[in-house]
Amino acid sequence: MGHPAIEPNPWMILPFGLLLATIALGPAVMPKWWSRHYSKVAYALGAITLAYYLLGLQAWARVLDAGHEYVSFIALVGSLYIVSGGIHIGVSGEATPRINTLFLLVGAILANFLGTTGASMLLIRPWIRMNKYRITAHHIVFFIFVVSNVGGCLTPVGDPPLFLGYLKGIPFWWVAEHCWPMWALGISYLLALFYVLETLNYRRAPKAIRGQVAEPREQWRVDGLWNLAFLLIILAAVFVDRPLFLREGIMVAAALGSWFTTRKQVHEANRFDFHPIQEVAILFIGIFATMMPALDWLEHHGDGLGIPSPATFYWGSGVLSSLLDNAPTYLSFLSAAFGLFVQPDTVQKVQSLLQTHGPGLASYADTHSDAVAQTIASLQKYHSAALAGGSVNTDQIETAFLLGNGSLNRFIIAISIGAVFFGAATYIGNGPNFMVKSIADRQNVPTPGFLGLVFKYTVPCLLPMLVIVWLLFFRT
């Protein structure tokens, strides 16, 4: 992270816990009060944490860092929401269990190319329309499970935690190369379970009613197709790192371009308004502010996780990703892995060899320790361009050290799968989760509350898959 290490008082995690509690209980216990005052709750609890950091700790750099992260987050989510709202996908015919399951599978694949946020914002509206006559909470929940989270674990574009790993030196296709078995298992399990629940739901609807309310078969069409160009601009902007706020400026410009070039009829067909993104923007101001103490405490005490094992990192990064935003949680555990396993002497030796021999250091690898040789081999395999250009940085060397050791790279796999898969467990685990719920709520689609999602769906439906993944891949 780009700020000095900070160790906050653990009691300052309390505002974050209170905010989570109000998000969980407010809509269910006092919905009218919550709809009027949720912004005040988010601002007040966020202000308490900000005052502590600014006045108590004098941690201005940390606050500015969190502010930049929030601006980046809301620029991405907001621009994708606006642009996807300008694309109307007309659905056709009856949404049978087989068609719905295939739709989710396509969404899971698209999530790796458009990102979980992009795929979710593009597909949630047609998903609601094609199931309008019998849509239930399980349609929204499994959409979140599959499209908004688990589906996007194969590329850095797929999910924000993996993109942070890419910036730290993890190669673009390394994730797909090593995580596809978990992806295949997770998606297969969730789609099979969805198909069973969907078949039961489908059979409860009388056939005559199904035929009357199904979309006409000739209605598959896409309006506002030019907005795909704006969507690609936003995704490309994700990789822009400098200068400061250029990335966010490009995203906002693409959103404005989409908004002003999209016909009003397309927005009306999508029942588009700004309420969902407004709600997310306000609540996540409070979340980004109040979770600073939790993340900083985790970063400072990451080496106290017990005896390190892939299972520890899988469950640790996973459980905390479901309560905190999964991107900073992933980065905290990745930093802990670097601190626990990377050998500074090996990194220094590789740096010295690079300075002495440059791209030709491969011929000298065999004369050094296994750790040095494995690190050099990993650099050649995954960072050959940087090696040839003499631009290898310390992050890439440290990552190569972990990737080159077969027993250590399992920790990175465990962190990657834990952060992405467990992000589906709650509405705040991953950015698109809350957006999908908000869009569904705006269209009067039944969705479970915070606790309803956890106890009705995460525990009975998602948790068994997470346990199976642990047993097969990370137990030993």
Q: What is the predicted pLDDT for the residue at 291?
A: 84
Q: How many other CB atoms are there within 10 angstroms of residue 204's CB atom?
A: 9
Q: How many other CB atoms are there within 10 angstroms of residue 249's CB atom?
A: 14
- Confidence grade of residue 192 (pLDDT, cut at 50, 70, 90): very high
| Res. 123: pLDDT tops 80 | yes
- Mean pLDDT in the chain? 84
| Res. 61: pLDDT tops 90 | no
Q: What is the predicted pLDDT for the residue at 465?
A: 97
Residue 115 CA: distances (Å) to CA of 157, 159, 241, 297: 5, 6, 18, 29
| Residues 6+ positions from 129 with CB-CB distance below 8 Å | 91, 215
| HSE-up of residue 33 (Cα within 13 Å, Cβ side) | 8
Q: What is the predicted pLDDT for the residue at 221?
A: 75
Residue 312, burial from CB neighbour count under 10 angstroms (0-12, 13-18, 19+): middle
Q: What is the pLDDT of residues 411-422, one digit of tens each?
A: 999 999 999 999
DSSP code for 460: I
Q: What is the pLDDT of residues 260-311, one digit of tens each?
A: 999 888 888 888 888 888 888 898 899 889 888 887 887 666 555 555 789 9
| Res. 254: pLDDT tops 70 | yes
What is the arithmetic mean of pLDDT over 14-33?
A: 84
- Confidence grade of residue 461 (pLDDT, cut at 50, 70, 90): very high
Q: What is the pLDDT of residues 139-155, one digit of tens each?
A: 999 999 999 999 999 98
Q: What is the pTM of this model?
A: 0.81
Q: What is the predicted pLDDT for the residue at 1?
A: 47
What does the chain come to in residues?
A: 476
| Res. 91: pLDDT tops 80 | no
| Res. 45: pLDDT tops 80 | yes
Q: What is the predicted pLDDT for the residue at 218?
A: 47
Q: What is the predicted pLDDT for the residue at 302?
A: 57
| Res. 170: pLDDT tops 50 | yes
Task: Give yes or no for a cis peptide into 243 (omega within 30° of 0).
Answer: yes
Say which residue, 98 or 270, is predicted with more confidence: 98
Q: What is the predicted pLDDT for the residue at 214?
A: 54
Q: Quick check: 421 and 466 in contact, CB under 8 A?
A: yes
Q: Give exposure, 336-362, as e/b (b: 16+ Cβ within 10 Å).
A: bbbeebbeeebbebbeebbeeeeeebe
Q: What is the predicted pLDDT for the residue at 357?
A: 62
| Res. 73: pLDDT tops 70 | yes
- Confidence grade of residue 163 (pLDDT, cut at 50, 70, 90): confident
Q: Output phi, psi for 93, to 5 deg.
A: 70, -165
DSSP 365-394: HTTS-HHHHHHHHHHHHH-HHHHHHT---H
What is the arithmetic mean of pLDDT over 339-363?
A: 74
- Confidence grade of residue 44 (pLDDT, cut at 50, 70, 90): very high
- For the chain, how long is the longest CA-to-CA vector? 78
Residue 64 CA: distances (Å) to CA of 58, 184, 284: 12, 39, 16
CA-CA distance, 429 to 425, in Å (whole number)? 7
Radius of gyration (C-alpha) of the chain in whole angstroms:
23
| Res. 360: pLDDT tops 70 | no
DSSP 81-130: HHHHTT-EEE--B---HHHHHHHHHHHHHHHHHHHHHHHHHHHHHHHHHH
| Res. 335: pLDDT tops 90 | no
Using a CB cutoff of 8 Å and minimum separation of 24, what contacts does 260-263 make?
A: 261/86, 261/226, 261/227, 262/85, 262/86, 262/224, 262/227, 263/223, 263/224
Say which residue, 287 or 457, is predicted with more confidence: 457
Per residue, what are the HEC states of 277-327?
A: HHHHHHHHHHHHHHCHHHHHHHHHCHHHCCCCCHHHHHHHHHHHHHHCCHH
Q: Shortest CA distance to 70 belongs to which of 328, 445, 333, 310?
A: 328
DSSP code for 262: S
Share of the chain above pLDDT 70, in %: 90
- Confidence grade of residue 476 (pLDDT, cut at 50, 70, 90): confident
- Which amino acid is present at 258? S
Q: What is the predicted pLDDT for the residue at 93?
A: 60
Q: What is the predicted pLDDT for the residue at 337?
A: 82
Residue 327, burial from CB neighbour count under 10 angstroms (0-12, 13-18, 19+): buried
Strand partners, 222: 89
DSSP code for 215: B
Q: What is the predicted pLDDT for the residue at 15?
A: 92
Q: Quick check: 146 and 107 in contact, CB under 8 A?
A: yes
Share of the chain above pLDDT 90, in %: 32
Q: What is the pLDDT of residues 196-245, one digit of tens each?
A: 999 998 887 666 565 555 555 546 677 888 888 998 898 888 878 778 88
| Res. 4: pLDDT tops 70 | no
Q: What is the predicted pLDDT for the residue at 3?
A: 55
